[in-house]
Amino acid sequence: MKSFQYADAAVEQGINIRFRDPKQAEVMEVQDTLGKIADWMGHDLRMEGPPPKGFLIKELTEQQRNLLNAVLGLQYARRNAEQQAELRNVPLVESGEQMVDLREHLQSGSQVSFSDKPFHEACGSYAKKKRIMCVRQEVATKLMLVCRALNEVHMSAHIEDCWRPPEVQQGLLLRRLVDVARANPDWNWEQVKMVAMSLTAPSPGLAGHQAGAAVDWRIYDIDGRDFLPLGNDYPEGGAHSSLEFPYLTAQQWRTRTLFASVMRMQGFRLLLTEDWHASHGDRGMGADGALTRKAHFGPLQSFNVQTEEVLAYEPQEREIPYFTDDEVQELILRARLPGGGRGKFASKPTEIYAWFWHKKSEKKAD
């Protein structure tokens, strides 16, 4: 379903990356765990093997991670841009299925936890408000089976994020653009745009979260209450969060394999750039080696759990990007303004977010 993408051998040698062969016991332990889950779900076991070069002897240092991100980041982003172009062609017929509260749906039948972090400060009027833990009924039902299956092997899901209002989805892309522009001052605006939009959906029609079809989540051990290591923190984007990233320890590979295999057993699909994101019923059904190339959940403007009413985008509105190229360029220039005595940049990210939303409100008023 995926191919691992390495940096050149000279790069690996230059930053002293060393591998070891996987031990049979390590692979068998993951296979046995997934076998139990597959039996409980009534599915066949499907599991991908370790990276071709094996596992890292030591976890990557921050310096190694940064260098690999610099080398592989644009390469991975191009691959994701190609995938996004394909997904735009996936037919979408909105079903109008209701949204349900995932907290109520899951907590009565499984051990699961939910993030208490608010929406990011870039999200306009939703900044610092509670996240909205709602998804489509079909997604909730499938996720319930995933959570119960994990409980059977003494693991549990921790739900980070679900439905996002339009303003939140745009705000998260705003954050990405600012972060990528500042972290890579030598990149041109098109490179910044490509990488940022490989990490956060560039338009409503590609936003699984806005469709109520996507969930961001992590796995933790019930006994120790510790999150299983992925090799990156949520929602830390970059080359190391990509499914193609091969520089993993045995434990990191185990976590990623558990996540991917369990979700695929229930028909979820994974995006190339995020090892915490899975969706069902949206245009992501055309990704991840899927045979089903149609979608029945599209982006929602809003919904009402009590009345079961959902307000979907009109077809022509789905493909309108959250940012025009002119807005992207202006934003990048502002994000990179030199700060003189105030440090490297003139404005704090929060000041840029406030400027953007103020400008947007003025434009709307006109």
Give exposure, 277-289, as e/b (b: 16+ Cβ within 10 Å). bbbbbbbbbbbbe
* pLDDT for residue 289: 57
For β-strands 112-114 and 155-161, DSSP reports them as: parallel
Asked if omega into 235 is within 30° of 0 (cis), the reply is yes
Q: In Å, how far from its chain's centre is CA 234?
A: 9
Give pTM, 2 decimals: 0.95
Nearest to 286 by CA among 48, 135, 84, 95: 84
* pLDDT for residue 107: 81
What span, in angstroms and rounded, lies between the C-alpha atoms of 261 and 219? 13
Nearest to 271 by CA among 196, 218, 199: 199
Task: Annotate 146-204 with DSSP letters as a single string.
Answer: HHHHHHHTTEEEEEEE-B--HHHHHHHHHHHHHHHHHH-TTS-HHHHHHHHHHHS-SSG
What span, in angstroms and rounded, lies between the C-alpha atoms of 293 and 243? 21
* pLDDT for residue 150: 97
* pLDDT for residue 292: 57
By the 8 A CB rule, do 126 and 165 touch? yes
What span, in angstroms and rounded, lies between the C-alpha atoms of 146 and 271? 18
The pair phi, psi for residue 340, each rounded to 5°, is 60, -120
In DSSP terms, 312 is beta-bridged to 300
Q: Which domains does the chain have, with CATH numbers?
A: 9-322 (3.30.1380.10)
Q: In Å, how far from its chain's centre is CA 186?
A: 26
By the 8 A CB rule, do 141 and 193 touch? no
How do the pLDDT tens digits run along the chain, 366 residues long? 458 999 999 999 999 999 999 999 999 999 999 999 999 999 999 899 999 999 999 999 999 999 999 999 999 999 889 889 889 989 999 999 999 999 999 988 889 999 999 999 999 999 999 999 999 999 999 999 999 999 999 999 999 999 999 999 999 999 999 999 999 999 999 999 999 999 999 999 999 999 999 999 999 998 877 899 999 999 988 899 999 999 999 999 999 999 999 999 999 999 888 999 999 999 987 666 554 578 999 999 999 999 999 999 999 999 999 999 999 999 999 999 998 655 589 999 999 999 999 999 998 877
* pLDDT for residue 287: 66
* pLDDT for residue 342: 55
